[in-house]
Every structure is written in structure tokens, then in C-alpha cells.
Structure 1
């Protein structure tokens, strides 16, 4: 890889490259724990509001999506703490970057792109991350995401793993911190 990745909205033509990158990340990192059997369908789910890819030397090296809330633990935790409606929320999901593209802060660039999109639309973002994914946790916290609680991520045939839920304060840090403090 010789150039820095650039981030752009995903197109249907990107799906084979996204699928290949997802399978590669799963092989190196064990993420994602679902979606690998049919990666093109997983990244193009009807729940996707919008998504982006990172491309380097004409190869897809990363992906991120904002999804419609579908009862995720992070959505429920934030609604309970803040009283905010799900209509003004999005779930940040399906962030993955192939190993050799990480040296260029590709994950951070994808995150900042999604956060800017949400901010422009006054959309509150939430996410959950498996506790084993410590690099992702460090990235979210460095970018100002607030831990709002713990959950259990369920996947596969009855499998589960501990997860942490986060909210991004598109409407401002003060109201997020206040809502989180009221419950804790």
C-alpha cells in the first residue's frame, strides 16, 4: 500500500471489496463475530442508514456504517438515561479496517466522517463494543465517546460476550455527562 486511504460513501460496486476486507479482518482479529458467512448482505443490511468505505490504491481497506436503531442495548441504555427518542438516534456499527491500513489512522478517519454526518443532522450516535476489542475502545474514548454502561453481545447460536455501550454527544458533552451521571 503506497498511498493514504481516502474515505467516501459506499457504492454497490464496493460490496465485493468490502466483503473481502471484512473476511480478512475477521481472520486477523476475530471481528466481527457475525456477518462473515454472507458479508455483502451483512454490510448492506436494510437497517443501514448510510455507510462509507476507506479506499487505498483502489482497494477497500475499511468500512463504517450508521444503522437505524433496532433495539440494541446501547439504544435502550441511552434512552433510559436521557429520555431521548430513538428517532433522533443512530447506531454506529460495522467499523473494520484491514491491519496494514491502520497505520494511517483509517479507523479514526472513518469515525470522524460518521460523526460529522451525525452532527450535521443532529443525530445522536450510540454503539456497543465487545470488551475484547481494546483498540476500538481506546479510539472511541479518545474521540470523546462516553461509556454509558455494560451489556452482553449475543450472536451466533446462543453465544455471548461482554460489551460496553457508548454514546457520542452530537448535541454537546454537558447533556451526555449529565444524563450518564443521573443514572450512575
Structure 2
């Protein structure tokens, strides 16, 4: 996992539309957020180009994590469902991206019906290029 140096800033970065947490047996076990995204986000750009729409018509689902001990309880699917519901309530189309090496996350999105738009290379730092899979929620 590519854990950020400053997790608090990473979790709350960008123009936030909402964020949710999941609890299991009294403990915090998951998180997801929904935002307008940053200027460099590829998924909103890809969706907008494909649909002849503005970037502002998308909402970026991000910062999803589920604690390893809580996996297998459908927490990831429930959190994604909450973010998608809020995006649609706002009249926005949900998009996301995930590191291509995170095959478990990609499998979850595909099981939930998300459409793979493209896999692209992204420069995360001067010394790190990462393959990223960009998805759009099904219509």
C-alpha cells in the first residue's frame, strides 16, 4: 500500500462533498470520501471527454479503505454505495481511480458494476511512476 506521509491531510484533501466511516463491534474499520476532485485527477477528465460533459459533472470516490480484520463483511461495498448515492443525489456521475496493482480493489469495483475506462501511467513523484485504473460507475 502507498500510505501517505500525512494521513490526516490525505483523508481530508480537496473540495469534500462528503465522507463516511464504518464501525464494526465498536471500532472504526473503514472510510470513504466523495469530492469534486483535484485538477490532475484523470478519471473525471476521461469520463468528461467520453461523455461530452464538463469535469464538474463528476464526483470522485476516493480514500476508500477497510481494515484487514474487517474484510469480508461487505463494508467496502456499503461505503461505495453510500458515496455513489450521495453523488447521484447531487446530480453528479461517480468516478474513481485505483492503483493497478491493487487487484482486490479493482475486483470489488468490477463486481459492483463499475466500468473500466482506461489504465494510465501517472507520475506520483520524480522517482515513482504508477499504473492507475480509472473507473466510472455504471449509469
TM-score (norm 2): 0.90
Aligned to 1:167: 136
* 3-state SS, counterpart of residue 71 of structure 2: helix
Say if 2:17 is the partner of 1:49.
Answer: yes
4+ residue stretches of structure 1 with deviation over 4 A? Answer: none
The offset of 1:136, in angstroms, is 0.7
Contact map agreement 1:154 1:160 (CA 8 A) in 2: yes
* 3-state SS, counterpart of residue 65 of structure 2: strand
Aligned to 1:58: 26
Contact map agreement 1:154 1:161 (CA 8 A) in 2: yes
Aligned counterparts of 2:120 and 2:81: Cα–Cα separation in 1: 25
CA deviation map 1:31-77 (0-9, x unaligned): xx252x21112111243221100112332111001121323111111
* 3-state SS, counterpart of residue 28 of structure 2: strand
Aligned to 1:99: 68
Aligned to 1:115: 84
Query: Greater share of strand residues, 1 or 2?
Result: 2
Aligned to 2:6: 38
Aligned to 1:67: 35
Aligned counterparts of 2:15 and 2:33: Cα–Cα separation in 1: 10
Q: Which runs of no fewer than 5 residues in structure 2 stay unpaired?
A: none
* 3-state SS, counterpart of residue 77 of structure 1: helix
TM-score (norm 1): 0.70
Structure showing greater Rg: 1
Q: Which runs of no fewer than 5 residues in structure 1 stay unpaired?
A: 1-29, 173-184
